[in-house]
């Protein structure tokens, strides 16, 4: 068994070998610019990009012309939120989001507040749920965007996307969801779920880093956004810049693989996750699981270890690669705002660990981790 055991798949995933084999030729022999219309090099690249566009679209039930390639979910979130603000303001200035969103949504909203936007940050309940009623109550005449993530990256809680989408549709408000952590793990269909815009990222689903996409539903308010990158009018003018062909080819292949193995992976991951979670809860006293126990990502468990110093805890886990309930900013280690938002104390948030599993996780690794966590926590206590 290779140590440390990788249990941080929500941070990033390795590139799948099949994905790598597909994309490598686009760095060398097939190096063409997808925008070169006058020769074979360009046509080959363009064809590969269009195949990838179909593969991405198929994973979420979209049409190819609704997919805009970006550098990742951070860019996709920036593009839809800032882009729609720019086309809506000053007539409409209100955004609805949640306290537990990723910084790639929250910091964009904070930025826009300085420019005149008004933002409602909904507070989740103690397992991380946002309700339709909260969204309805927060809705105003001048609301132009509701952005609620599909599944939380730290605690895995899945939001009532379909219901919020239906409400947004009724009110003719754009509904965006950051589905970065959901794709490849649970089934997502943009039409059935009333989604107008959706962000996704390659490196969370076994494709390379630095590539992602934004889904923009045709004839929906999402398509009114103003581009945030001007230039050669690539991607139907929504995102200028020479396409990252190799990355896009990889993203497409990864989406195809994810679609074909979704059910199998989902079941396999939840069995392993449950084994890990039960193993830790039964063998280590004073522990609790964070997040919605009945409606969360199948690959993740976030566990608080009472009575342990958080910083020591993470430093002591040398043989497993996991992430903590805290984020290092340049100046200090802060407790996770997600865990604080669902009611954890600073102390408990520091002493919380996210274990996130992926398709290369084995049962032997889970068995090892259960024993290892028990030994480390007991030694610390």
Ligand X SMILES: Cc1ncc(COP(=O)(O)O)c(C=O)c1O
Residues labelled as active-site residues: 328
Query: Please, what is the minimum distance in Å from the beta carbon of residue 372 to ligand X?
Result: 25
Q: Is 184 helix (H, G, I), strand (E, B) or coil?
A: coil
| Gap between the Cα atoms of 245 and 297, Å rounded | 30
Count CB atoms within 10 A of the CB of residue 290.
30
- CB-based closest residue to ligand X: 72
CA distance 188 to 74: 20
CB of 76 to ligand X, least distance (A): 8
Residue 219: φ, ψ to 5°: 55, 25
Contacts with ligand X, residue ranges (CB under 6 A) = 72-74, 102, 104, 149, 153, 178, 180-181, 201, 212
> Considering the complex, what minimum distance in angstroms separates the CB of residue 1 from ligand X?
27
How many alpha carbons fall within 13 Å on the CB side of residue 302? 29
Tokens of residue 307, six digits: 């009575």
**CA atoms in the 13 A half-sphere facing the CB of 237:** 4
Closer residue to ligand X in complex, CB, 75/372: 75
For ligand X, the closer of residues 135 and 183 by Cβ is 183
- CB contact set of 70 (below 8 Å; sequence gap of 6+): 76, 79, 211, 212, 213, 214, 239
Q: In terms of CB distance, is 74 or 341 closer to ligand X?
A: 74
CB of 254: closest distance to ligand X in angstroms?
Answer: 13
Q: Which is nearer to ligand X, 92 or 185 (CB)?
A: 185
């Amino acid at each position: 068994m290779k140590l440390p055991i990788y249990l941080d798949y929500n941070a990033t995933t390795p590139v799948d070998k099949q994905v790598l084999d597909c994309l490598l030729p686009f760095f060398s022999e097939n190096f063409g610019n997808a925008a070169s219309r006058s020769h074979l090099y360009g046509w080959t690249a363009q064809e590969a990009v269009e195949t990838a566009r179909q593969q991405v679209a198929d994973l979420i039930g979209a049409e190819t012309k609704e997919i805009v390639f970006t550098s990742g979910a951070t860019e996709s979130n920036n593009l839809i939120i800032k882009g729609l603000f720019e086309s809506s303001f000053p007539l409409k200035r209100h955004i609805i989001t949640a306290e537990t969103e990723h910084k790639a949504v929250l910091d964009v909203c904070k930025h826009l507040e300085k420019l005149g936007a008004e933002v409602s940050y909904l507070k989740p309940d103690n397992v991380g749920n946002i309700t339709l009623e909260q969204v309805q109550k927060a809705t105003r005449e001048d609301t132009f965007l509701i952005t609620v993530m599909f599944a939380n990256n730290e605690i895995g809680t899945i939001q009532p996307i379909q219901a919020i989408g239906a409400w947004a549709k009724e009110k003719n408000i754009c509904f965006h969801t950051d589905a970065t952590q959901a794709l490849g793990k649970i089934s997502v269909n943009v039409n059935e779920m009333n989604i107008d815009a959706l962000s996704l990222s390659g490196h969370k689903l076994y494709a390379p880093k630095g590539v992602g996409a934004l889904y923009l539903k045709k004839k929906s308010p999402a398509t009114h956004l103003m581009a945030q990158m001007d230039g050669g009018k690539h991607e139907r003018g929504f995102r200028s810049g020479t396409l990252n062909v190799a990355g896009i080819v990889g993203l497409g292949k990864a989406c195809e693989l994810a679609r074909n193995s979704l059910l199998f992976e989902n079941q396999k991951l939840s069995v392993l996750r449950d084994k890990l979670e039960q193993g830790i809860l039964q063998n280590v006293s004073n522990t609790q699981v964070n997040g919605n126990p009945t409606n969360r990502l199948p690959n993740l468990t976030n566990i608080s270890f009472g009575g342990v110093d958080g910083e020591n805890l993470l430093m002591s886990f040398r043989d497993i690669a996991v992430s903590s309930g805290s984020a290092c900013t340049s100046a200090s280690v802060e407790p996770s705002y997600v865990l604080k938002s669902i009611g954890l104390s600073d102390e408990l948030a520091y002493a919380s660990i996210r274990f996130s599993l992926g398709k290369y996780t084995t049962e032997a690794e889970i068995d090892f981790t259960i024993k290892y966590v028990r030994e480390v926590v007991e030694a610390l206590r």
